[in-house]
Amino acid sequence: MATFLGTFLLPIALCAVAFVLLLGLINMMRGGSANRSQQLMRWRVGLQFVAIVITMLAVWALGR
């Protein structure tokens, strides 16, 4: 289980966070909608939470 979490799910979660962060930066640089920026920030925070949970589960599974 730890291998699956650390090898597959964690990189996917980290790439999702980076992708949403880049979308937010592009939106800001282009002078896009403030509502869109807020929505992307909320998505980023949620995805970061998921990535932290996956990381903690992997660490817990490695310790067993």
Q: What is the DSSP string of 2-48?
A: HHHIIIIIHHHHHHHHHHHHHHHHHHHHTT--HHHHHHHHHHHHHHH
Match 């966070």 to its residue by tokens: 17
Domain enclosing residue 8, as ranges: 2-63
pLDDT digits 0-9 by tens, 8-61 = 999 999 999 999 999 999 999 999 999 999 999 999 999 999 999 999 999 998
One-letter amino acid for residue 25 of the chain = L
The answer to whether the beta carbons of residues 45 and 37 sit under 8 Å apart is no
Question: Which two three-digit tokens encode residue 2?
Answer: 């730890």
pLDDT score for 63? 86
Tally the domains of the chain. Answer: 1
